[in-house]
Amino acid sequence: MGDSKRNMIVAFQVETQACIDHLDDILTVPGVDMAFLGPYDQCLSSGIYDAEGAARMLDSPALDRILETLAAKAQAAGVLLGVYLGGGTSRVEKYLRLGFHFISIGSDLDALTTCATARLRELPAITAAVGGAVASYTAPPSNNL
């Protein structure tokens, strides 16, 4: 691999209850640099979605306990922390206070739908200026995924 190791981060995804249950073993795998939490999948796997629903799962005390466990164990092992933000910026401070180093602000799907929605909202004004047919656009309700 030559110099490539100095330019790579080796991360594993924390998205299942089994991963949380085996964190001590996983965090000691040689070469692991980062534990990256996928909060949506973690909530689904851990039963938090079923208990709290989509609207409340990311602010659930059960997810907070998982975050605290992950943060404490990763920091003790000298492993960086990463997380997918999703659902807006209201949780950034919480992640930073817990010691997360890498916060992914969105996904390709999020970027595409955000851009497409913005363009569709512009269409009524543009078409009205030339007598066009698009009268209005209402975005579908977001599921925050």
pLDDT in tens, 62-85: 999 999 999 999 999 999 999 998
**Placement of tokens 């594993």 in the chain:** 12
Query: Looking at the domain 11-109, which fold is it?
Result: TIM Barrel (3.20.20)
- The predicted model scores a pTM of 0.75
Cα separation, 119 vs 142, in Å, equals: 17
**DSSP 8-state assignment for residue 137:** -
Summarize pLDDT for 30-44 with one digit per residue, the tens. Answer: 999 999 999 999 999
Domain boundaries, the chain: 11-109
Cα separation, 82 vs 71, in Å, equals: 10
Edge-to-edge order in the sheet of strand 34-37:
11-14, 34-37, 80-84, 102-104
Cα separation, 4 vs 76, in Å, equals: 26
